[in-house]
Amino acid sequence: MVETASQMGTGTGGTRNIAGTNHPLIELEREIASLHGKEAALIFTSGYVSNQTGIATIARLLPHCLLLSDALNHNSMIEGARQSGAERKIWRHNDIGHLEQLLRAAEPNRPKLILCESLYSMDGDVAPLHQICDLAERYGAMTYVDEVHAVSMYGPHGGGIPEREGVMDRIDILEGTLAKAFGCLGGYIAANANVIDPVRSYAPGFIFTTALPPPVCAAATAAIRHLKSSQLERDRHHDRAARLKSVLHAARLPVMPSETHIVPVHVGDPEKCKLVSDLLLWKHDIYIQPINYPTVPRGLERLRITPSPHHSDELIDRLASALVGVWDQLDLPLRETVCGEPDGMLIVPV
Amino acid sequence: MVETASQMGTGTGGTRNIAGTNHPLIELEREIASLHGKEAALIFTSGYVSNQTGIATIARLLPHCLLLSDALNHNSMIEGARQSGAERKIWRHNDIGHLEQLLRAAEPNRPKLILCESLYSMDGDVAPLHQICDLAERYGAMTYVDEVHAVSMYGPHGGGIPEREGVMDRIDILEGTLAKAFGCLGGYIAANANVIDPVRSYAPGFIFTTALPPPVCAAATAAIRHLKSSQLERDRHHDRAARLKSVLHAARLPVMPSETHIVPVHVGDPEKCKLVSDLLLWKHDIYIQPINYPTVPRGLERLRITPSPHHSDELIDRLASALVGVWDQLDLPLRETVCGEPDGMLIVPV
């Protein structure tokens, strides 16, 4: 007779410490540890929970810990930092000088944890990870990097921006999701055993909740393994993002600068931003959500487009054409043509 | 071109407010609302997250809210109450007199939220819900009841202990899980729209996380619908629990009193408790987890058995026989035979 929290169904059966740990889950944790070149990994219900209970637990376990958090970190990281009860200092987004100033001001022997994302999802910009690791080593700080928008999509094996930059082994804790590019559900942290073991033993959001079901774990493992060896999807993804940017740019739409697959298009007004989205859906069968304050600062309201490897040339051209039509209808400003710009690239009817 | 957080996979695609809301999810929310006789329901990643972000958000939205929490509430409720920042008073477990004392001492016009579970999973005891609702009405408090260990298993349609007791319509917020008896994944709160709508708009653990995948939602809806109309599984479940209790009792094993399907067997020593569990697994192929401090008070260490509808007479007899063998091996005390007790029921070889 097996003790299981799943008394009447086919569910996953209880918390990890009761009957929830299953073979596919362990296999998935090993696969993730290997993806990030770490000794161990720990799976949570979601990326949100990974950050929330992961950061809160690590910070609580480091006596008198100081958290140094990038100003644009995700809500789940902010909640984790808050719930830890530890002192927090916010450094200006991607501002290495400011981070160093805060590190220099802190007691040298105090435990410190630097929190940042590798790829910020609203602007598509990337953290200066090498410089952050340099500072961490100089000032004796640990590093925690959220890889949610990059894992599987960057790096020769999908290890994300840190793998691409060759900095993965200098980062103490990597956090990621299985619910975005890996197409499944759940989140994780990967680190060495001296970090993972205490989190496993002390994180309430890990201990007191139901484990991921075996089929979800098996699917995630298959997705990670596939994208470890196949470059096809990454190449196609980056190619689609580049083409989208180029086509929108040629149509003189106000594409905001982005180094990644995230393609923000500036609107600058919350009501018009919502209206653009509505018109795209109603008139053109295209669904792009408006991103307004408080998600982005006032004045920087935008559409945020994330093309997939499956978006064809035809779909991209149709989007550009629809956007130009909506821009025209709402009297939104197009970019001015700068002398010498390749206007011949304008392949979209305006 | 659809904005989706799932760029390269077959995942669920983003938060509820971006591209995550899907038809099976809405259908599931309607099914849950109907199960509990409420206007609306809201799905979260897990039961843990439902309690944590649900309670924290409701308490934050009620100005100067006082939380009144049963001493044995689950960690997820405690975390939600803590994270709200609201003042908390803990009432002694199931002690209506103590709850009334705390309610009487509070400012009459202050918003109050009573937090309890309908069925406590370690002792299998049940909250006096009618009396709690009487007090709530008398002192103008709202009620929040965690139904995680009861939903689908009690009540003529599986609405849980509140449905069985005819008190469902007197409870403001019912919280439950899809990951235990419904055999899926995820958690929820059900309440009237004036509660659900603000939580939908303000709960960070709802807003900034990935939605449940459509197949998980569809499976949960099917499970709820089936158990709404089928009494077979509930009858069989209760019959199995009753038979298990009677067989263990007849074998003079120290079954702790329980009104429900939860069957705790007292050991009273953490090392022996672990050893009982190990011997059951190694020698008898039976997996029952030891429950030690801090999950239960010191001295009340136990095995906690939750039979399912699928446990046959033969399996139950084999468990009793194995337990008696282990009890004997470890020199653990059996209950003394009380005069007049039906010793003839002793069907297990000792």
Distance CA B57, CA B49 (A): 11
Confidence at residue A11, expressed as pLDDT on a 0 to 100 scale: 39
* Catalytic entry in A180, A228, A272, A274: A180
**Any B CB within 8 A of A48 CB:** yes
Chain mean pLDDT for chain A:
92
Surface of B (137-196) touching A: CB under 8 A? 152-153, 177, 179-185
Distance CA B265, CA B255 (A): 4
All residues of chain B having their beta carbon less than 8 Å from the beta carbon of residue A205 are 48, 52, 79
Sheet with A187-191, side-by-side order of all strands = A40-44, A187-191, A173-177, A141-146, A112-117, A66-70, A87-91
Residue A349 — pLDDT band, cuts 50, 70, 90? very low
Given a cut of 80, is residue B11 above it in pLDDT? no
Residue B10 — pLDDT band, cuts 50, 70, 90? very low
Q: Do B1 and A307 touch (CB under 8 A)?
A: yes
**What percentage of chain A has pLDDT greater than the value 70?**
92
Question: pLDDT tens digits, residue range A279-302?
Answer: 999 999 999 989 999 889 999 999
Residue A16 — pLDDT band, cuts 50, 70, 90? confident
Structure-token pair, residue A269: 């007004």
For the segment B266-293, the average pLDDT, to the nearest whole number, is: 95
**What percentage of chain A has pLDDT greater than the value 90?**
88
All residues of chain A having their beta carbon less than 8 Å from the beta carbon of residue B46 are 45, 49, 209-210
DSSP string, A122-143: TT--B--HHHHHHHHHHHTEEE
Question: pLDDT tens digits, residue range B98-149?
Answer: 999 999 999 999 999 999 999 999 999 999 999 999 999 999 999 999 999 9
Distances (CA, A) of A215 to A200, B211, B305: 22, 18, 26
Confidence at residue A338, expressed as pLDDT on a 0 to 100 scale: 55
**Any B CB within 8 A of A304 CB:** yes
Confidence at residue B343, expressed as pLDDT on a 0 to 100 scale: 43
Given a cut of 70, is residue B347 above it in pLDDT? no
All residues of chain A having their beta carbon less than 8 Å from the beta carbon of residue B2 are 286-288
Instruction: Decide if B182 contacts B223 (C-beta within 8 A).
Output: yes
Closest CA to B37 of B140, B145, B172: B172
What residues does B144 pair with on adjacent strands? Answer: B115, B173
Given a cut of 50, is residue A27 above it in pLDDT? yes
Structure-token pair, residue A228: 């470890």
Closest CA to A53 of A35, A25, A75, A77: A77
Question: pLDDT tens digits, residue range B145-198?
Answer: 999 999 999 999 999 999 999 999 999 999 999 999 999 999 999 999 999 999
Given a cut of 90, is residue B16 above it in pLDDT? no
For the segment A308-313, the average pLDDT, to the nearest whole number, is: 96
- Among A2, A204, A316, whose Cβ lies nearest the Cβ of B75? A204
Residues B107, B113, B118, CA angle at the centre, nearest 5°? 140
Q: Do A6 and B181 touch (CB under 8 A)?
A: yes
Confidence at residue A13, expressed as pLDDT on a 0 to 100 scale: 58
Q: Do B210 and A180 touch (CB under 8 A)?
A: yes
Given a cut of 70, is residue B349 above it in pLDDT? no
Question: pLDDT tens digits, residue range A149-164?
Answer: 999 999 999 999 999 9
Given a cut of 50, is residue A176 above it in pLDDT? yes
The catalytic residue positions of B are: 180
SS3 state of residue B128? coil
Confidence at residue B341, expressed as pLDDT on a 0 to 100 scale: 47
For the segment B232-250, the average pLDDT, to the nearest whole number, is: 97
Residue A17 — pLDDT band, cuts 50, 70, 90? confident
Closest-CA distance of chain A to residue B11, Å: 3
Distance CA B171, CA B194 (A): 14
Question: pLDDT tens digits, residue range A209-264?
Answer: 999 999 999 999 999 999 999 999 999 999 999 999 999 999 999 999 999 999 99
Given a cut of 80, is residue B4 above it in pLDDT? no
Residue predicted with more confidence, B305 or B338: B305
Question: pLDDT tens digits, residue range B30-74?
Answer: 999 999 999 999 999 999 999 999 999 999 999 999 999 999 999
Residue predicted with more confidence, A6 or B276: B276
